[in-house]
Amino acid sequence: MGESWFRREFMVPRRLAFNVLFYGAHLSLFIYGWYSQATNQRLAGLNSLKYSVWTSRGAGLVLAFDGGLILLPMLRNIIRIIRPKLTWAFPADENIWFHRQVAYSLAFWAMVHTTAHYVNFINVERTQIRKQTALQIHYTQPGGITGHFMLLIMVLMYSTAHQKIRQQCFEAFWYTHHLAFFFMLGLYTHATGCFVRDTVDPDYIPTFPFYSTEHCLGYLSWRFIIWPGIIYFGERVWREIRARRATRLSKVLVHPSGAMELRIIKPSFKYTAGQWLFIQIPELSRFQWHPFTITSAPEDPYVSIHIRQVGDFTRGLGDRLGVGPSDKMSGMSRGDYVELDPAGSSIALPSVRIDGPYGAPAEDVFGAEVAILIGAGIGVTPFASILKHIWYRQKKGKLGSLRRVEFFWVCRDAPSFGWFQSLLQEVEAAQADRELHVLAANFLRINVYLTQKISEDMLWNIAVNDAGAEYDPLTLLRSRTMFGRPDWMTIFGQMKQAIEGGQYLPGSTSQLKTKVATYFCGPGALAKAIKDATVSHTNSNVEFTFAKEHF
């Protein structure tokens, strides 16, 4: 791995801050929970159980905290709204990572809490400070029942959420994770049995919350942590309502590589470039929502997504539209496409529902003077929308402070992304038109890197076809394809020199700080290399920023 655990967790300032805050908060809550139980005179009876009860109360308070936190990163709509304002404070795009950290912590403290309670109950039985047996507390009282129930749900949820299982069968993960609803019910009602009390019997009352806070002296944490649950539930309802709004699949374009372009019309759907959505096709699957990147620009009259036929869902869709792997079309050359029009074709288009949009960092391209967009492999998809959007803005002359765009596409084999090439061609052709205008010259530069090993035959083929041709033989773009992996340090270094020398942005004075925003979408190892390059080339004149997208 190269980098030690210690370096990763403690030597990176942001990670260090997170670790201190996150684990510090957990530890201090544990200590507070322990202390306030141990020093509470009214709970002297319970305190005769000593360490086990102090531990269980402390861990219980921590668990309540985690139970409140775990839903926060899942409030997708709220994150989308607050994201642009808060990117400096926390990485809103790392929400799944945060969700996992909370889950790990939840598992650990659940172990502490449960173990402590096992000891508590056996000692209650032995000392008879309450006239009960351990098993009565475990299996007949609300605390015990909900606790064991939550543990079982956790086993099922955690095990199906394992990376391997998610890849094998996403449905198993997706459906099992909805047990969270019952988990949350268990969490909020865990204390209704009034285990922590200063009376002999629980002091139940007929009105909500059905136990009296006079004598039930728990931390009442559900009053605080129920809110994320309510908000999350509201979000899910809202998403359902939004998904039901009028949506129509107007057109399907089939590209030669089998990629389908779905053009959907939904007037109520507002989005910005680089965002993604969930799509549901009830005919194929009643409940499943699948995420796809939006490939149309906000200016387009439709919402389009490109779907490659790779998984069972996408292949199923291909078969449904009559363009699946079984009925392969032949005789199409690159750049062509077949249009499935409901009017002319015998196949009726299925109904679709879309939910979204959800955020991605590339929304804020127009704040920087230079934008570097780097897509690796399939990670290139969000840039389709962004490039189109930039093109529309360029036509209108509303580019904000954006002066130049460098687009890098790193991929193993370009031909499998035929649909993207056709899109790039459009954008590039549009650039060629505008080259008449001095200002727009060199506005967008496309760099394609092919990293796959090429055979000798292919090498000669390229050499023969490339020389003197107007278009690159592989990508059919004006820009030439480069072979091998890009050396980011050199690329960024050259760019810095060019900017400082004033050649890169003609007319910009070197006193002003130039902001260069880098957006990357692709695998983690590459992200790190690029990030290092941006960090090492930032100085007082040129500021490189870096943002990574997630799927």
Partner 1 sequence: MGNLIWHEYSRLVSITASVCRCALLYTKNDHSRAITDAIWASFFGLFYRKFFWDFVGGTLRDPGGIQPSPNAEFFITIIVKIPLVQILSNILAASILAIELPLPQVKQFSLYRSIVGRIVLLLFQVFLTILFYQGTNAAIWSLIAVICYGRSLMLGETMQEAKDNRGKAGMA
CB of 165 to partner 1, least distance (A): 6
Stretch that binds partner 1, among 25-33, 154-162, 244-252, 365-373 (CB under 8 A): 154-162
Nearer to partner 1, 112 or 185 (CB): 112
If one asks whether residue 285 binds partner 1 (CB under 8 A), the answer comes out as yes
Q: Which stretch binds partner 1 (CB under 8 A): 133-141, 220-228, 448-456, 481-489?
A: 133-141
Shortest CB 274 distance to partner 1, Å: 25
Selected binder of partner 1 within 1, 348, 432, 467 (CB under 8 A): 1
Among 38, 79, 93, 171, binds partner 1 (CB under 8 A): 171
Under 8 Å CB-to-CB from 326, ≥6 apart: which residues?
A: 319
Output the CA angle 285-290-294, nearest 5 degrees. 135
User: Minimum distance from CB of 127 to partner 1 (Å)?
Assistant: 5
Among 14, 164, 328, 396, binds partner 1 (CB under 8 A): 164
User: Nearest CA to 480 among 516, 428, 440, 416?
Assistant: 428
| The one among 16, 21, 31, 155 contacting partner 1 by CB under 8 A | 155
Nearer to partner 1, 121 or 407 (CB): 121
b/e sequence 107-136, b meaning 16+ C-beta within 10 Å: eebbebbbebbebbbbbbbeeeebeeebee
**Residue the block writes with tokens 């687009």:** 407
Looking only at residues 73 through 132 of this chain, which bind partner 1 when binding is defined by CB under 8 A?
Answer: 104, 107-108, 110-111, 114-115, 118-119, 122, 125-128, 131
Q: Minimum distance between the CB of residue 48 and partner 1, rounded to whole angstroms?
A: 11
Q: 100, exposed or middle or buried, with CB in 10 Å at 0-12, 13-18, 19+? A: middle
Contact by Cβ (8 Å): 408, 375: yes
162 sits near partner 1 (criterion: CB under 8 A): yes
Interface with partner 1 by CB under 8 A: which range of 183-191, 257-265, 308-316, 333-341? Answer: 308-316
Q: Does 259 interact with partner 1 (rule: CB under 8 A)?
A: no
Q: How do strand 404-411 and strand 444-450 relate by DSSP bridges?
A: parallel
Please give the residues from 288 up to 307 whose contact with partner 1 meets the rule CB under 8 A: 288
**The dihedral formed by the CA atoms of 169, 172, 175 and 176, expressed in degrees to the nearest 10:** -150
CB 279 within 8 A of CB 352: yes
Say if residues 279 and 290 touch (Cβ distance below 8 Å): yes
From residue 9, alpha-carbon distances to 5, 91, 115, 363, 546 in Å are: 6, 16, 29, 29, 20
Nearer to partner 1, 158 or 449 (CB): 158
Per CB under 8 A, the segment of 158-166, 221-229, 358-366, 448-456 that binds partner 1 is: 158-166
Interatomic CA distance for residues 89 and 507, integer angstroms: 34
CB of residue 130 to partner 1, shortest distance in Å: 10
Task: Pick one of 4, 168, 401, 539: the residue that binds partner 1 (CB under 8 A).
Answer: 168
User: Least distance from C-beta 26 to partner 1, angstroms?
Assistant: 15
DSSP state of 199: S
Residue with smaller CB distance to partner 1, 169 or 220: 169
Our CB check for partner 1 shows the closer of 286 and 437 to be 286
Binding of partner 1 at residue 265 (CB under 8 A)? no
Give CA 313 to chain center in angstroms.
20
- Reported as type and span, the H/E element at residue 234 is helix 222-243
**Euclidean distance between CA atoms 109 and 106, whole angstroms:** 5
Interface pattern 37-76 for partner 1 (x via CB under 8 A):
----------------------------------------
Least gap, CB of 124 to partner 1 (angstroms): 9
Q: Which of 87, 133, 189, 508 is the binder for partner 1 (CB under 8 A)? A: 133
Residue 112: CB minimum distance to partner 1, A: 9
Instruction: Report the run of H or E that residue 438 belongs to, with start and end.
Output: none
Cα(530)–Cα(487) distance, integer angstroms? 9
> Which of 95, 160, 422, 518 touches partner 1 by CB under 8 A?
160
Residue type, 111: M
Residues 103/112, Cβ–Cβ less than 8 Å: no
Part in contact with partner 1 (CB under 8 A); list of ranges 163-171, 250-258, 426-434, 506-514: 163-171
Rounded to 5 degrees, what are φ and ψ at 254?
Answer: -110, 120
* Between 126 and 328, CB nearer to partner 1: 126
Q: Which is nearer to partner 1, 23 or 238 (CB)?
A: 23
Please enumerate in sequence order all residues whose Cβ is within 8 A of that of 517, keeping only pairs 6 or more positions apart, or say none. 364, 365, 367, 368, 370, 371, 372, 545, 547
The distance of closest approach from Cβ of residue 448 to partner 1 in the complex, given in angstroms and rounded to an integer, is 31
The residues, ordered by sequence, that sit 6+ positions from 59 with a Cβ below 8 Å of its Cβ are 30, 33, 109, 110, 112, 113, 116
Query: How far apart, in whole angstroms, are the C-alpha atoms of residue 441 and residue 445?
Result: 10
* Minimum distance, C-beta of residue 490 to partner 1, in the bound complex (Å): 30
Q: Does 19 bind partner 1 (CB under 8 A)?
A: no
Minimum distance from residue 450 beta carbon to partner 1 (Å): 26
Binding residues with partner 1: total (CB under 8 A): 42
| x/- letters, 309..338, toward partner 1 (CB under 8 A) | ---xx--x----------------------
User: Contact at 8 Å (CB) between 156 and 173?
Assistant: no
Binding stretches for partner 1 (CB under 8 A): 1, 104, 107-108, 110-111, 114-115, 118-119, 122, 125-128, 131, 133-135, 148, 151-152, 154-156, 158-160, 162-165, 168-172, 285, 288, 312-313, 316
